[in-house]
Structure 1
Amino acid sequence: MPMALSNEFTGSILDLMRKRFGLQLHEIFAALPFELLRFNCELPKDQDLVLQWLTPHLKALEDVVSPTRRSLIAYLSRSGLLDPDKRPLMLDLGYSGTIQKILTHILERDTTGLYFIATKPGDSAIGDHHALLKGVFHEGVGWRDGCTMLDRSLLFECLLTAPHGQMVDIRQKSNREFEYFYGREAATQRHFQDLKTVFDGAIDHVVMCRHHGVNYTRADVQDLYEVFATRPNCIPHDVWHLFSVDDDITGNGMVNPMQMFAI
């Protein structure tokens, strides 16, 4: 719970339960009193207060999420993350490694994470275990420190997505297979065939570079990103519709970074 309350969010407790934790309304009303759901909070500033509000109801919340937890652990086990001979390696865009730390807590084993950007690199103690974070392009930078790849990383997040969008729940069926439940679709999900064309072009370019011995340094990648992320009309108009992202987890709904960054 402290990790879940440490990231930014603004809204009511009802919104927090629905958007960050992915609970359905009937589950929320079964676990929490109506009066509490009307309280507003601003995270992480109010995290101690919110934890105080929720503590008397943690057992009820645990009962609500227990089917998801059992299914998730079964999924992680089948994916090989509980293999005692291999340390799990997680790949992500960034930044502070919250998901890796939560998985370290759930798996009860040491993990390593490799990120485009690691705002807090190094080793973090999670109970009796450790989560090691490493950054590829940047380490130890903060928001609004002048690092464009971080400050405008929302452009990355729009594109590095799956056809079905954000998964909000999982269940294991009687035949031991898994059933997945997803949140609402952003524009990238509705037009995923266009995004796949971008993916295919990127992969073709990497193959061509490998074939001809062309390499990009970290500085080259950063400079290229700086151009596309800050100059008007450098991103082709034909792909503008792909830049929207479901930011419900922070309480912001659908976000369009092209408008946000005025590019």
Structure 2
Amino acid sequence: MQAKSRALHEFGATFLGPALHVYAEAIESSGADHLPVCLAREGWCFHRLLKRLQRDHAIDLPRDPVYLRVSRTLLFRAMLGSETITRMALGNDFSGSVLDLMRKRFGLQLHEIFSALPIELLRFNCELPKDKDTVFEWLSPHLKALTTVVSPTRRALTAYLERSGLTDPHVRPLMLDLGYSGTIQKILTHTLKRDTSGLYFIATKPGETAVGDHQALLKGVFHEGVGWRSGCTMLDRSLLFECLLTAPHGQMVDMRQKSNGEFEYFYGREAATQRHFQDLKTVFDGAIDHVIMCRRHGVTYTRGDVQDLYEVFATKPNCIPHDVWHLFNVDDDIAGNGMINPMQMFAI
């Protein structure tokens, strides 16, 4: 193995491996009535982990895991026009014009925006969530037109969820994701019109949440009930995990079902991890190999061990090797912030 590949592999084993090991144990003990559903960009690695553990007979799962290519942007787009989901979408931080909001949070293209909303409205600036009631009032007369614009996306999403097995009445979807407030899970609970469970690295609002007539149950493996900027390093500096736990295709922003029944996926711009995905795959391989080794030889970590390890990597300069610096880059378009480099942000 070349020196760079060895460094990437070893970094995966030390930085991601222990967390994935503890997370896999939590998934395994989650219950026999669950369907493991690996969500969004983070879910790509989780799905790869679970499939490898199954192949090596190192985990006992009641059902094969499903990888669901979704994102908040895609789901907000698909459900635009629904009062419940539109209000939810306006509850997260954003600063900019209504035009930018429609593009970045809901993934609408310019011609779609101009076909449904008047130019006067698009010029308004807003700050969310402070202005969410005002923005919803502005959008309310146009919800029917917006519903029409996104109807192809919604139809494709409905068919995709059914084909993925999430509508099977005999199993309860168990959403697997990094965290934190379970927005994707809650939208899916509303869309599927059924109760769901979610198992996250961190759940900022754990427990049952009512979404219409159904319940979304959220649990956190490493932290529960913590708030941003409350001193929880694993949450406040979670961008380090977010940068690495991504998929080769990046964030999905739209989908269509073709005439032959297959699905076509549309993605946002590439971050550094998509341009260097072979390097990231080597990091994943190191992490997954470490989990296999741990389970084979009875090596265990506590949640505290993982928290302490993350504290070191996230706060001490030079603990993250230079060979992996180029992977720490992520887009925050949904909040209007563009590309973010946590290495610079956290001065590590």
Task: Judge same fold: TM > 0.5, yes or no.
Answer: yes
1:174 corresponds to which of 259, 278, 285: 259
1:241 paired residue number: 326
1:142 paired residue number: 227
2:129 paired residue number: 44
How far residue 190 of structure 1 moved from its aligned partner, in angstroms, is: 0.3
1:230 paired residue number: 315
Using the alignment, how far apart are the partners of 1:220 and 1:188 within structure 2? 27
1:221 paired residue number: 306
1:83 paired residue number: 168
1:9 paired residue number: 94
* Structure 1 gap ranges (5+): none
How far residue 205 of structure 1 moved from its aligned partner, in angstroms, is: 1.2
How far residue 204 of structure 1 moved from its aligned partner, in angstroms, is: 1.1
Counterpart of 2:156, as a letter, is: S
Using the alignment, how far apart are the partners of 1:69 and 1:194 within structure 2? 35
* Structure 2 gap ranges (5+): 1-85
2:139 paired residue number: 54
Using the alignment, how far apart are the partners of 2:344 and 2:98 within structure 1? 29
Note if 1:251 corresponds to 2:336.
yes
| CA shift digits 1:19-61 (9 cap, x unpaired) | 1100000000001011111111111111001101100110110
2:74 paired residue number: none
% same residue: 85
What is the correspondence of 1:81-230 to structure 2 with a 5 Å cutoff? 81-230=166-315
Q: Tell me the secondary structure at the aligned position of residue 194 of structure 1.
A: helix
Detail structure 1 runs of 4+ shifted over 4 Å in the superposition. Answer: none
Q: Tell me the secondary structure at the aligned position of residue 21 of structure 1.
A: coil
What's the TM-score once normalised by structure 2's chain length? 0.75
Q: CA RMSD in A?
A: 0.6
Note if 1:24 corresponds to 2:109.
yes
| CA shift digits 1:71-107 (9 cap, x unpaired) | 0010000000000111111001111111111111111
The structure showing larger relative contact order (alpha-carbon pairs under 8 Å, at least 6 residues apart) is 2
| CA shift digits 1:115-143 (9 cap, x unpaired) | 10000000011111110000100000000
| CA shift digits 1:177-231 (9 cap, x unpaired) | 0000000000000000000000001111111222222111000000000000011
Using the alignment, how far apart are the partners of 1:103 and 1:11 within structure 2? 27
What's the TM-score once normalised by structure 1's chain length? 0.99
Using the alignment, how far apart are the partners of 1:236 and 1:38 within structure 2? 45
Number of residues paired by the alignment?
Answer: 263
Using the alignment, how far apart are the partners of 1:119 and 1:148 within structure 2? 13
Q: Tell me the secondary structure at the aligned position of residue 94 of structure 1.
A: coil
Counterpart of 2:334, as a letter, is: I
How far residue 2 of structure 1 moved from its aligned partner, in angstroms, is: 1.0
1:35 paired residue number: 120
Counterpart of 2:262, as a letter, is: E
Note if 1:72 corresponds to 2:157.
yes
Counterpart of 1:122, as a letter, is: G
2:54 paired residue number: none
Q: Tell me the secondary structure at the aligned position of residue 116 of structure 1.
A: strand
Structure with greater helix percent: 2
